[in-house]
Amino acid sequence: ESKRLRTGPVLHDPARHDDTSGQLRLVEELRLALVRDELVLHLQPQVDVGTGALHGVEALVRWQHPARGLLGPASFVPLAEAHGLIGPLTERVLELALAQLARWRADGVRLRVSVNLSASNLLDEALPERLLGRLLHHRVDPADLVLEVTENVFAGDSPQVRGVLTALAGLGAGLSIDDYGTGWSSLGYLRRLPVGELKLDRSFTADLRTDHRTAAIVGSTIDLAHRLGMRVVAEGVEDEPTLHELERLGCDLSQGYLHARPLPADELAGWVAARAA
Ligand code: C2E
Ligand code: CA
Ligand code: CA
Ligand code: CA
């Protein structure tokens, strides 16, 4: 049965497990969603720890599914990765992010946008050139785009991945290491790659105030990052005491429910206005 699934699509097979046919249907719907423009970005503020100023946003993809409502990335990004759709998905997300940057620029607003890349995007040697085309089309400053990759993409030390990352950085976009500290944490790659930012994983942020070992790791990671000329973002910041601890340790930016949940662009504008008032 599973062999048949791999050799080609079987449309009506009642013997198949419900989950599998449901997932395959979702994959087909996702293929259509990409052309029907059903993906939307929610934007989560990244706030300067020292000044409280809004520095930028992380773009987090959602799928406005016609029947199921708004779906989070956990229910379709892994599916896209497994079924060859992560290339088009990422390009759609990049396109939406660049369009947002262009709108802000037209409004005189200067914010950065961080976009999440999947590991397999870094095997696509044509990505940097296509991204360059879209940057030029939207007349967006590449420095306003930050590309987040998780540290496990460095694990194999693949020349292909290194080449794509170097080319992306060569466009002028920033590179950020996401979920830092959870994976293959050899710092060797930081010496060779133009990485400008570390994002401390939420698990470190969560334990910061209650576990002195976590605080020691976070403090020395921030110091090391600064010595390497990198800035540090703490993700998952949910309360004031944690923010104060991050400030004490010299963390640059914070992101989390304390400031705001990921918001549609119009609600983000409302959030900015409410804070200014
Ligand atoms: P991530 O990159 O680590 O994104 C942070 C996740 O933590 C987001 O979940 C965000 O909503 C959530 N979060 C933010 N602040 C807090 C907080 O204070 N507390 C807690 N508990 N959670 C917080 P989301 O939006 O469901 O995204 C989940 C993951 O999906 C992301 O993790 C990222 O790995 C992936 N993802 C999202 N958008 C994209 C995309 O456009 N492309 C790809 N390839 N992956 C994406
Ligand atoms: Ca991220
Ligand atoms: Ca993260
Ligand atoms: Ca995470």
pLDDT digits (tens, 9 = 90+) for 206-219: 999 999 999 999 99
Q: Which residues contact 269 (CB under 8 A, 6 or more apart)?
A: none
Query: pLDDT tens digits, residue range 199-208?
Result: 999 999 999 9
Instruction: Report which secondary-structure segment, H or E, holds 36.
Output: helix 18-36
CB-ligand 1 contact for 144 (6 Å cutoff):
no
Region 253-267 average pLDDT: 97
56 Cβ inside 6 Å of ligand 1: no
3-state secondary structure of 234: strand
Position 241 pLDDT exceeds 60: yes
The finding on whether 254 has its CB within 6 A of some atom of ligand 1 is: no
Angle CA 157–162–165, to nearest 5? 140
Nearest to 176 by CA among 190, 158, 160: 190
pLDDT at 73 over 80: yes
Q: Is 172 in the pocket of ligand 1 (CB under 6 A)?
A: no
Q: What are the residues facing 54 on neighbouring strands? A: 47
Report pLDDT for 15: 47
Name the one residue in this structure whose structure tokens are 């892994």: 78
Query: What's the CA gap between 97 and 263, in Å, rounded?
Result: 14
pLDDT higher than threshold 60 for residue 4: no
Give the closest residue (by CA) to ligand 1 atom 17: 236
Distance in Å, CA 261 to ligand 4 centroid? 14
Q: Is the pLDDT of residue 184 over 70?
A: no
Residue 21 has pLDDT above 90, yes or no: no
Ligand nearest to the CA of 176: 2
Q: Which of 37, 31, 45, 88 is nearest to 62 (CA)?
A: 37
Angle of CA points 104, 239, 93, to nearest 5°: 35
Ligand 1 touching residue 26 (CB < 6 A): no
For the beta carbon of residue 11, count every other beta carbon within 10 angstroms: 6
State mean pLDDT over 2-17: 47
Model confidence at 7, in pLDDT bands (50, 70, 90)? very low
Instruction: Express as a percent the part of the chain with pLDDT over 70.
Output: 91
Tens of pLDDT, residue by residue over 136-163, are 999 999 999 999 999 888 877 789 999 9
**Mean pLDDT throughout 239-262?**
98
From residue 135, give the alpha-carbon distance in Å to each of 28, 55, 100, 267: 29, 20, 12, 25
Mean pLDDT score, 117-139: 97
Residue ID of nearest Cα to ligand 1 atom 33: 116
The DSSP code for 72 is: P
The Å distance, Cα 148 to ligand 2 centre, comes to 6
Nearest atom in ligand 1 to the alpha carbon of residue 62 is 38
Q: Nearest bound ligand to CA 39? A: 1
User: Among positive and negative, which fits the CA dihedral 225, 227, 231, 235?
Assistant: positive
- Residue 262 has φ and ψ, to the nearest 5°, of -60, 130
- Which residue type is seen at 67? A
Name the H helices within 46-198.
77-82, 86-106, 127-138, 159-170, 188-192
Q: What is the mean pLDDT of residues 166-185?
A: 90
CA distance 113 to 174: 10
| ipTM of predicted assembly, 2 dp | 0.98
Q: Give the position, in ligand 1's atom list, of the atom nearest the Cα of 121.
A: 44
Which residue, among 170, 234, 228, has the nearest Cα to 201 in the 3D structure?
234
- Pocket flag, ligand 1, residue 78 (CB < 6 Å): no
15 C-alpha to center of ligand 3: Å? Answer: 39
242 compared with 9, residue with greater pLDDT: 242
Q: How far is the CA of 10 from the centre of ligand 1 (A)?
A: 33
Predicted confidence (pLDDT) per residue in 32-71, tens digit: 999 999 999 999 999 999 999 999 999 999 999 999 999 9
Span from the CA of 148 to the centroid of ligand 1 (angstroms): 11
Say yes or no to pLDDT of 3 above 70. Answer: no
| Predicted model pTM | 0.92
Per-residue pLDDT tens digits for 91-113: 999 999 999 999 999 999 999 99
- Please state, in angstroms and rounded to a whole number, the distance separating the CA atoms of residues 181 and 200: 7
Say if ligand 1 is within 6 A of residue 116 CB: yes
Q: How far is the CA of 248 from the centre of ligand 2 (A)?
A: 24
The pLDDT value given to residue 10: 47
Of the pLDDT bands very low, low, confident and very high (cuts 50, 70, 90), residue 8 is very low
pLDDT for 191 equals 75
Nearest-ligand number for the alpha carbon of 60: 1
Ligand 1: residue of 40, 57, 60 to mutate (most ligand atoms within 8 A of CB) is: 60
